[in-house]
Amino acid sequence: MIVIDTANHISALAAKMARARVIAAYPITPQTTVVEKLAEYVESGELDAEFIRVESEHSAMTACIAAEAMGVRTFTATASHGLLLMHEMLHWAGLARLPIVMVNVNRAIGPGWNIWSDANDSMAQRDTGWLHFYCSSNQEVYDSIIMAYKIAESQEVMLPAMICYDGFILSHTSMPVEVPEQSKIDEFLPEFKPAWKIDVENPITHGNIVEPHYYAQIRYDMQVAMERAKKIIEEVGEEWGKKFGRDYGLVQEYKCEDADYVILTMASMAAEAKVAVDELRNKGEKVGLVNLRTHRPMPFERLKYDKIIVIERAVSFGLGGIVYNELKGRVPELYGFIAGIGGMDVSYRDIERMYELAKEGKDGWYPIEVK
Amino acid sequence: MKTAISYPTEGAMGKTGTWRVFRPSIDIGKCIKCWRCWIFCPDAAISKGEYPVIDYEYCKGCGICANECPVNAIEMGREEK
């Protein structure tokens, strides 16, 4: 079935079809319509789930943690300041190894007040032990949410997952999305089997004081699980491809085989970059595109190119581009552009321009300061 | 998968009764067997016998039982060791 709807409504539909049983969320622009749609599903009886209304995003994440610890599949969605308010509990979900799935609609952080797209909200959560996925279309949003449950709930992973997409550019834009039948989704995504749960029949205590050597092992185990997740992400993406005809993996490559330069970007900028690559190819430029779908775990193995041009919508002050700096030292020739901050439009023409600038040996804040 | 899970066992934290400064004692003549002390004891150191029974191996002497007793049947006296 083809559904034409916004990424926010598609997110709600995906959470419903993944059969999330507890939803705790707080509305925030530009995510609000995700929560509204889910509330509607629960109210109408279309979705058999407990909808917990909370007074803040910190409480939303806490409610999801508590429900997930009871062995129940959960869902929440947030954006920007809401995500930042969750920060403490994001660490908690990671360390407790609870495979919660959350949508984050990327939005700039104030002040000045800005509701447009900017990835600094989710980039600032990259060390919380969550799997981070970025989507470049509404179809990818749907597919990624369902796949995220399977990846996060894998016994080899057991880590929470965050699905990110650009505010307004995707969140409020209707696009056609192919939605499989519920029975096919149920076949793909079986019932959640928790690794541990709070159960009165078999009492345990979770989160008690642990000595340093054991705490260090818990942390190390998360790093190992992140590494294992790379394999699971590829496997689940391949299985999705076989079942539904759209292949996924850690990254998506476009015209990279013979490329001299590879443009690496994420989220909606990757869709725009595809147009730029086609335009540049028409002019005879040997250029390809890597859409970095997965930011945590960081798929270094899939980024073995000689010349990479990173274009990203976030910055680490005092360091520079985040993905750019993560790749520094691993790529022989690396260029980094910070672009689209605070929702500044990045068209395929801008991406073509950045490519030309990189060929001249220049990079930096586009278009503010490039040298 | 590693996370901070522990299984409750008796005395997992050692003989916490040695921490006690004040010692509760129950006057069974006054006790009405309402079991509020049993419900409120945070260390589950009170069990149900004919009357409430305090396990001094684990009672830390917090005094919550004495505070909750509606008929003042529990007295906190200084521990003498």
Q: Cβ distance A8 to A141 under 8 Å?
A: no
Q: What is the mean pLDDT of chain A?
A: 97
| pLDDT tens digits, A269-285 | 999 999 999 999 999 99
Which pLDDT does position B7 carry in this prediction? 87
The single-letter code of the amino acid at A94 is G
CATH number of the domain that residue B35 is part of: 3.30.70.20
Closest CA of chain A from B27, distance in Å: 34
Domains of chain A with bracketed CATH: 2-244 (3.40.50.970), 252-370 (3.40.50.920)
Q: Does A70 touch chain B (CB under 8 A)?
A: no
Domain count, chain B: 1
Asked if pLDDT for residue B13 goes beyond 80, the answer is: no
Query: Inter-chain contact A97–B1, Cβ cutoff 8 Å?
Result: yes
Which pLDDT does position B9 carry in this prediction? 84
Q: What share of chain A is helix, strand, coil (3-state, %, to 5)?
A: 40, 20, 40
Taking residues A163-172, report their average pLDDT: 98
* Within-domain flag for B21: no
Residues of B in contact with A196 (CB under 8 A): 1, 3, 5
| pLDDT tens digits, B44-76 | 999 999 999 999 999 999 999 999 999 999 999
CA distance A169 to A172: 7
* Within-domain flag for B10: no
* Within-domain flag for B2: no
Asked if pLDDT for residue A68 goes beyond 80, the answer is: yes
On the CB side of A138, how many CA atoms lie within 13 Å of its CA? 24
Taking residues A236-260, report their average pLDDT: 98
Asked if pLDDT for residue A249 goes beyond 90, the answer is: yes
Query: Inter-chain contact B4–A204, Cβ cutoff 8 Å?
Result: no
Give the range among A111-115, A202-206, A240-244 with minimum mean pLDDT.
A202-206
Asked if pLDDT for residue A199 goes beyond 90, the answer is: yes
Q: Does B13 touch chain A (CB under 8 A)?
A: no
| pLDDT tens digits, A301-315 | 999 999 999 999 999
Query: Inter-chain contact B4–A217, Cβ cutoff 8 Å?
Result: no
Q: Does A207 touch chain B (CB under 8 A)?
A: yes
ipTM > 0.95, yes or no: no
Q: Does A221 touch chain B (CB under 8 A)?
A: yes
* Within-domain flag for B68: yes
| pLDDT tens digits, A34-59 | 999 999 999 999 999 999 999 999 99
Asked if pLDDT for residue A231 goes beyond 70, the answer is: yes
* Within-domain flag for B56: yes
Q: How confident is the model at residue A347 (pLDDT cuts 50, 70, 90)?
A: very high
Q: Can you tell me whether residue A347 is helix, strand or coil? A: coil
Taking residues A110-121, report their average pLDDT: 97
Query: Inter-chain contact B8–A225, Cβ cutoff 8 Å?
Result: no
Q: Does B6 touch chain A (CB under 8 A)?
A: yes
* Within-domain flag for B70: yes
* Within-domain flag for B66: yes
Q: Of all helices (H) and strands (E), which one includes residue A365?
A: strand A364-365
Taking residues A178-193, report their average pLDDT: 98
Asked if pLDDT for residue A64 goes beyond 90, the answer is: yes
Q: What is the pTM of this model?
A: 0.90
Which pLDDT does position B81 carry in this prediction? 63
Q: Does B2 touch chain A (CB under 8 A)?
A: yes
* Within-domain flag for B16: no
Burial class (CB in 10 A: 0-12, 13-18, 19+), A43: exposed
Taking residues A111-126, report their average pLDDT: 98
Strands (E) located in A99-242: 101-106, 131-134, 161-166, 174-178, 205-206
Q: Of all helices (H) and strands (E), which one includes residue A53?
A: strand A50-53
Q: Print the domain residue range for B56.
A: 26-78
Q: Cβ distance A4 to A175 under 8 Å?
A: yes
Residues of A in contact with B2 (CB under 8 A): 97, 217-218, 221
